[in-house]
């Protein structure tokens, strides 16, 4: 029956009863707009999602539901614009706070979004269907393959497909991802001269040993950037962002961050581990991007997941066998979840992402009297907002806390900054913590060029090496222990 697979997908995302029936026509329309058909639904519902995601948890299903709501909302961007809603876009790397403040100020008069990130997080992890949009961007002139970030390709592809209309303003953070801002120029010059961008530049001329968020002049510099950007947002959208909105957004960020810390710790410290690393990353998205439908749906999923994990941990249940080695990652490649699945098949648990574990400093809310400076501090404490050397120190802190058996780097070869930083950072982390690091040359979002067999061999090898090293280490510790010791 027509629509059955679409409805099954909604059921999987925990849409129930009357709401499911009501939203079904919108969902079918939304799916069509982003290039999904009934075959894609059947593949997702019957094969891909059950294999890649831990659906036994209501929290995971709610999380899929929250992402679906957001995706449906994004396919209405054109209509929203026609109704006079002002569109404010951004792109990662970023934090929730500046955008959340705009949403709090503007409510339904403003649509705040990272459209490429939102739809990437939806299309690739749940349907494995980003490729047609990447190809659209490539056919328009962007180089094929791994030389450009697939997020930027998706932004162009979505624009060309007319899913994502011209924003009233695109607010991004420049240097950290220089390609993102260049892509805005590209769209502006070639396709859409109304594509209006404003960049708030992070300081990023930090000397070795300096910590941006601890230097008043740097915090003040970024805070001034926020003031300027809010003025521009106000000029373009007519939405006035007041201090109460910023204060609320600061609180939202800290609250959500704190909860992800609870979830990450529960999962990383549990043996057996109850949740796969890819799911863990997905729960963390709201502190690095806005949700136009609100972070409440994701937060509800997160709260549910935390409670479910507490029960699992207390009962000693997990999805991996007890005692399996755990691998941390810079960023578990959730957009290519079959990578995570190969680790699982090989008896290794993906346990934590360096980008998504809050540092000790991040968990302390900025307490200054200038709210703009507080936002700046939050931003500069985020791993991708700080200088390389400070970021690597933060990685070390996180590895020492989570104590994985190994650390996986890579997947960012297309990124001039991260690609090299992973190699430098891995060496430092290994030296400081003794945790072995492995590197995989691959693309975080776009797996079209992966040699699956080569990658499988590599992951199997990494898994075997981790297991052997862990076994050898345990044997050596047992041999060195005094007789009679447990």
Partner 1 sequence: MLVAGVDIGSTTTKAVLIDGAGALVAFAIIDTKHDRDESGEEALTLVLREAGRTDADLTLVASTGYGRRSFKRTQKVLPEIVCHARGTEHLYPGVQTIIDVGGQDSKIIAMGEFGTVQMFEMNDRCAAGTGRFFEVLSRRLLSVPMEELGPLALKSAKPVFLSSVCTVFAESEIISHLSAGTPAEDIAMGILESMAKRVVAIGKQARIDYREPVVLTGGIALNVAAGRAFADQIGKEVVVLENPQMPAALGVALIALDDWTAEGRGSPA
Nearer to partner 1, 403 or 467 (CB): 467
| Minimum CB distance to partner 1, residue 478 (Å) | 13
Q: Work out the end-to-end distance of the chain between its first and last CA atoms, rounded to an integer number of angstroms.
A: 62
Nearer to partner 1, 204 or 470 (CB): 470
Q: Which of 209, 442, 201, 478 is nearest to 340 (CA)?
A: 442
Q: Which of 246, 94, 106, 281 is nearest to 170 (CA)?
A: 94
Nearer to partner 1, 243 or 449 (CB): 449
What is the distance between the alpha carbons of residues 225 and 238, in angstroms, rounded to a whole number? Answer: 19
| Minimum CB distance to partner 1, residue 471 (Å) | 9
Nearer to partner 1, 145 or 368 (CB): 145
Nearer to partner 1, 161 or 469 (CB): 469
What is the distance between the alpha carbons of residues 281 and 227, in angstroms, rounded to a whole number? Answer: 31
- Which long-range contacts does 467-473 make (Cβ < 8 Å, 24+ apart)? 467/325, 467/347, 467/348, 469/405, 469/406, 469/436, 470/325, 470/405
| Minimum CB distance to partner 1, residue 460 (Å) | 4
Nearer to partner 1, 363 or 472 (CB): 472
| Minimum CB distance to partner 1, residue 432 (Å) | 15
Nearer to partner 1, 291 or 438 (CB): 438
| Minimum CB distance to partner 1, residue 431 (Å) | 11
Nearer to partner 1, 207 or 479 (CB): 479
**Which residues of the chain form contacts with partner 1 (CB under 8 A)?**
423, 426-427, 436, 438-439, 441-442, 449, 451, 453-455, 457-458, 460-461, 464-465, 468-469, 472-473, 475-476
What is the distance between the alpha carbons of residues 168 and 107, in angstroms, rounded to a whole number? Answer: 16
Q: Which of 340, 413, 418, 433 is nearest to 383 (CA)?
A: 418
φ, ψ of residue 10 to 5 degrees: the values are -60, -40
Nearer to partner 1, 176 or 409 (CB): 409
| Minimum CB distance to partner 1, residue 388 (Å) | 17
| Minimum CB distance to partner 1, residue 454 (Å) | 5
Q: Please say whether the dihedral angle defined by the alpha carbons of residues 326, 337, 164 and 10, taken in this order, is positive or negative.
A: negative
Nearer to partner 1, 83 or 423 (CB): 423
Nearer to partner 1, 42 or 430 (CB): 430
φ, ψ of residue 437 to 5 degrees: the values are -115, 145
- What the block records as the tokens of 173 is 């953070």
H or E segment and range at residue 349 = strand 349-353
**β-sheet bridge partners, residue 197:** 170
Q: Which of 433, 131, 445 is nearest to 281 (CA)?
A: 445
Nearer to partner 1, 221 or 439 (CB): 439
CA distances from 382 to 84, 146, 292 (A): 34, 26, 22
| Minimum CB distance to partner 1, residue 31 (Å) | 33
| Minimum CB distance to partner 1, residue 430 (Å) | 9
| Minimum CB distance to partner 1, residue 455 (Å) | 7
Q: Left if phi > 0, otherwise alpha if psi is -120 to 50, otherwise beta: which for 471?
A: alpha
| Minimum CB distance to partner 1, residue 439 (Å) | 6
What is the distance between the alpha carbons of residues 485 and 85, in angstroms, rounded to a whole number? Answer: 69
| Minimum CB distance to partner 1, residue 441 (Å) | 5
What is the distance between the alpha carbons of residues 459 and 468, in angstroms, rounded to a whole number? Answer: 14
- R_g (Cα) of the chain, nearest Å: 22
Q: Which of 451, 432, 431 is nearest to 440 (CA)?
A: 451
What is the distance between the alpha carbons of residues 208 and 188, in angstroms, rounded to a whole number? Answer: 36
Q: Which of 128, 137, 155 is nearest to 452 (CA)?
A: 128
CA distances from 465 to 154, 183, 325, 395, 476 (A): 36, 40, 10, 22, 16
């Amino acid at each position: 029956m027509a629509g059955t697979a679409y409805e099954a997908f909604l059921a999987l995302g925990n849409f129930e009863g009357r709401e499911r029936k009501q939203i079904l026509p919108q969902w079918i329309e939304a799916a069509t707009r982003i290039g999904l058909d009934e075959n894609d639904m059947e593949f997702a519902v019957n094969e891909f999602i059950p294999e890649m995601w831990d659906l036994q948890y209501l929290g995971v299903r709610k999380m899929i539901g929250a992402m679906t709501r957001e995706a449906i909302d994004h396919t209405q961007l054109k209509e929203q614009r026609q109704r006079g809603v002002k569109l404010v876009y951004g792109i990662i790397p970023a934090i929730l706070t500046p955008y959340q403040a705009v949403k709090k100020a503007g409510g339904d008069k403003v649509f705040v979004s990272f459209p490429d990130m939102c739809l990437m997080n939806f299309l690739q992890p749940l349907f494995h269907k980003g490729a047609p949009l990447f190809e659209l961007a490539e056919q328009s002139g962007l180089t094929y393959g791994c030389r450009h970030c697939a997020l930027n390709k998706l932004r162009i592809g979505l624009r060309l497909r007319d899913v994502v209309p011209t924003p009233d303003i695109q607010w991004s953070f420049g240097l950290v991802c220089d390609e993102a801002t260049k892509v805005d120029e590209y769209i502006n010059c070639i396709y859409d001269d109304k594509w209006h961008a404003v960049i708030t530049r992070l300081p990023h001329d930090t000397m070795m040993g300096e910590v941006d968020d601890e230097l008043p002049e740097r915090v003040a510099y970024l805070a001034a950037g926020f003031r300027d950007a809010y003025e521009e947002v106000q000029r373009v959208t007519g939405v006035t962002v007041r201090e109460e909105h910023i204060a609320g957004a600061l609180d939202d960020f800290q609250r959500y961050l704190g909860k992800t810390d609870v979830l990450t710790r529960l999962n990383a410290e549990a043996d057996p581990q109850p949740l796969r690393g890819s799911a863990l990353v997905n729960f963390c998205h709201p502190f690095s991007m806005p949700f136009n439908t609100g972070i409440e749906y994701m937060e509800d999923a997160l709260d549910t997941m935390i409670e479910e994990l507490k029960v699992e941990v207390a009962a000693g249940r997990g999805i991996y066998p007890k005692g399996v080695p755990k691998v941390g990652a810079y960023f578990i490649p959730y957009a290519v979840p079959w990578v995570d699945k190969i680790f699982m098949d090989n008896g290794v648990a993906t346990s934590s992402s360096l980008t998504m574990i809050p540092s000790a400093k991040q968990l302390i809310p900025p307490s200054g009297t200038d709210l703009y400076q507080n936002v700046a501090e939050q931003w500069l404490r985020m791993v991708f907002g700080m200088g390389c050397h400070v970021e690597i120190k933060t990685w070390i802190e996180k590895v020492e806390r989570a104590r994985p058996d190994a650390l996986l780097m890579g997947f960012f070869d297309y990124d001039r900054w991260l690609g090299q930083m992973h190699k430098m950072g891995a060496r430092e982390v290994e030296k400081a913590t003794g945790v072995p690091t492995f590197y995989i040359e691959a693309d975080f979002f776009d797996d079209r060029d992966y040699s699956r067999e080569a990658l499988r061999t590599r992951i199997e090898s990494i898994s075997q090496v981790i297991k052997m090293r862990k076994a050898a280490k345990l044997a050596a510790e047992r041999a060195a222990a005094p007789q009679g010791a447990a």
